[in-house]
Amino acid sequence: MAKASERERCITGIEGLDNILGGGIPTHNIVLVAGAAGTGKTSLAFEFVVRGAVSGENGVLITTVESKSKLLANIPSLVFYDEKTVGKRITIMTLKDLLEEAGISDGVAGESVMDMLISMVEKMVVTAKAKRLVIDSIDTILPDQKEERLDTYFLTKLSQMLHEKGSTAILVCKAETAEGGIGSVVDGIIQMGNLERKGDLLRTMQVPKMKGATHSRAKYVIDLTSAGVLVTTLLKGGI
Amino acid sequence: MSEDLHSRVALKLEAVGPSVSIGLEIKIESYFDIVRGLIEDFASKNGMNCIYVTSSVPSATLNSALQALEVDTEGLRFIDCVSHTMMGAIHRVDNTVYVENPSMLENIMLKVEYFLRLAGDKKTIVVFDSANSFAIHNDPKILSEFFTIILNSLKAREAYPVVLMIPDQLKVEVKEMLGMVCDVIMPIEQDHQP
Ligand SMILES: Nc1ncnc2c1ncn2[C@@H]1O[C@H](COP(=O)(O)OP(=O)(O)OP(=O)(O)O)[C@@H](O)[C@H]1O
Ligand SMILES: [Mg+2]
């Protein structure tokens, strides 16, 4: 019998992140990747799907970027990304197409719309046999932050679906979104940020919350490279 | 005897082997001979990669000096922490990545990691040039933390970590710190002195 304290992990394949998390993201978790513009959210989320594909797990990537080719062009090429093999395991859909197919026009909200959205995402996850789901970003899906009830409704439904399908999700959002009410509803938060030190600007990553895992809460310094997101300790002597 | 100084450097490193962090005491007059010894006689001739972290001489200068000597630079990668701080445009070179300045120590660790990943299993020597210039830009406390972490991590990966130091220009506390973080402090010229 599985121990309640030791949940099965989705090994992200991003070595530095897996180390911080003590092995990976607990399976079924919904994890926010939150941060200011240009902090590396898309890079991290994309690598999550690509690393999965490399290790044989299919992924679904829903993106606000207008087209797949533009998405790939925006992301500096990863040395382990191969369109012919890895690319096959990744289903990419633009958010615009998703909303259109779901018959949702912009500005519409309500539980029925959320239901529609979830069932569309579910269909994609089932069709793709996806173990990893990324939505980059959810800020446009949940445009009105005052509608917290609806956010919670969406996340609860998504969580149910992930449990049924055995999948793990990364949702990208702005820093403020994670600080709001939905931060307490999701299972985990990965904060991307900047740290200024004597005029130098370092990229940082920190995990303040991850249900089902004993993890480091320290701030780490990261680099976005063609070998993926690299992580190292923040030197203490410098602050 | 300066003529074969570079081959002597290689012999000394070969005698020590991997996973040992070395503080290499050099004299400023023999700087280029030592660099050549590390890159050509040791790395290149043994079919190894060399990650050369420079916070003293711009990588472009080192590159042209090596080219003039017709040194094989196939397995050589530069992490250049000086060129950004100097005025003028940087000519981007394939084998070089730039770190804005020598106080961005975490970024140096990340760039070393980057080159190690790209190299896969290949044996690698990692040179830090030099403790003196790093000490100008960083206080001894953070420098000691930096060297402790990166040297240990390189040792764990069976790399050959080498820190260049010009001892007569080093503050006592930095020298002591290097004595702590390096497994061996190796003087280069002393052997041939009477
Ligand atoms: N492999 C890489 N090598 C070098 N630079 C990179 C790499 N990956 C990303 N970058 C740079 O880092 C920046 C941020 O990347 P990314 O798009 O992942 O951030 P983001 O948080 O998603 O930004 P936004 O808020 O605009 O969506 C970009 O400007 C990009 O050029
Ligand atoms: Mg983005």
Mean pLDDT of B53-67: 94
Residue A221 tokens, joined: 């310094």
3-state DSSP assignment of residue B44: helix
Residue A210 tokens, joined: 């991850």
- Model pLDDT for residues B67-96, shown as the tens digit of each residue: 999 999 999 999 999 998 776 666 777 799
Count of CB atoms within 10 A of residue A72's CB? 15
Q: Which fold has domain A9-233?
A: Rossmann fold (3.40.50)
B142:A230 CB<8 A: no
Cα separation values, B116 from B63, B153, B154, B158, Å: 20, 11, 10, 11
Among A232, A234, A236, A239, most B C-beta atoms within 10 A, so best to mutate, is A232
Instruction: Give yes or no for residue B1 having a pLDDT over 50.
Output: no
Q: Residues B175, B143: contact at Cβ < 8 Å?
A: no
Mean pLDDT, chain B, integer? 92
Name the helix (H) or strand (E) containing B79: strand B76-80
Residue B177: predicted pLDDT: 96
Residue B194: predicted pLDDT: 42
Q: Which amino acid is at A179?
A: E
Mean pLDDT of A124-130: 97
Residue A146: predicted pLDDT: 62
| Segment among A3-7, A215-219, B48-52, B168-172 with least mean pLDDT | A3-7
Mean pLDDT, chain A, integer? 89
- Model pLDDT for residues B84-128, shown as the tens digit of each residue: 877 666 677 779 999 999 999 999 999 999 999 999 889 999 999
**How far is the C-alpha of A26 from the C-alpha of A11, rounded, in Å?**
8
Q: Which of A226, A227, A237 sits opposite B139 (nearest CB)?
A: A237
Residue B88: predicted pLDDT: 65
Nearest residue of chain A to residue B100 (CA atoms)? A200
Neighbouring residues of B184: CB distance < 8 A, sequence distance ≥ 6: B16, B20, B21, B22, B23
Residue B79 tokens, joined: 């992490």
Q: Is B174 exposed, middle or buried (0-12, 13-18, 19+ CB in 10 A)?
A: buried
Interface of A with B in 60-79 (CB under 8 A): 79
- β A219-225/A228-233 pair status: antiparallel
Instruction: Give yes or no for residue A31 having a pLDDT over 90.
Output: yes
Band (pLDDT 50/70/90 cuts) for residue A143 is low
B153 touches chain A (CB under 8 A): no
List, in sequence order, the alpha helices (H) in A39-169.
41-54, 68-74, 95-101, 111-128, 148-165
Q: Is A116 exposed, middle or buried (0-12, 13-18, 19+ CB in 10 A)?
A: middle
Q: Residues A207, A34: contact at Cβ < 8 Å?
A: no
| Segment among A63-77, A103-117, B130-144 with least mean pLDDT | A103-117
Between A50 and A7, the higher pLDDT residue: A50
A235:B100 CB<8 A: no
Name the closest ligand to CA A37: 1
* Annotated domain spans of chain A: 9-233
- From the list A157, A121, A136, A162, the residue with the least C-alpha distance to A27 is A162
Question: From the CA of A42, how far away is ligand 2's center (Å)?
Answer: 4
Q: Is B5-187 assigned to CATH 3.60.15.10? A: no
Instruction: Give yes or no for residue A239 having a pLDDT over 60.
Output: no
- Model pLDDT for residues A53-103, shown as the tens digit of each residue: 999 999 999 998 888 788 888 777 888 888 888 889 999 999 888 888 877
Between A145 and B133, the higher pLDDT residue: B133
- Model pLDDT for residues A173-218, shown as the tens digit of each residue: 999 888 888 888 999 999 999 999 888 899 999 999 999 999 999 9
**How far is the C-alpha of B31 from the C-alpha of A26, rounded, in Å?**
52
CA B135 from chain center: how many Å? 14
DSSP annotation of B19 = S
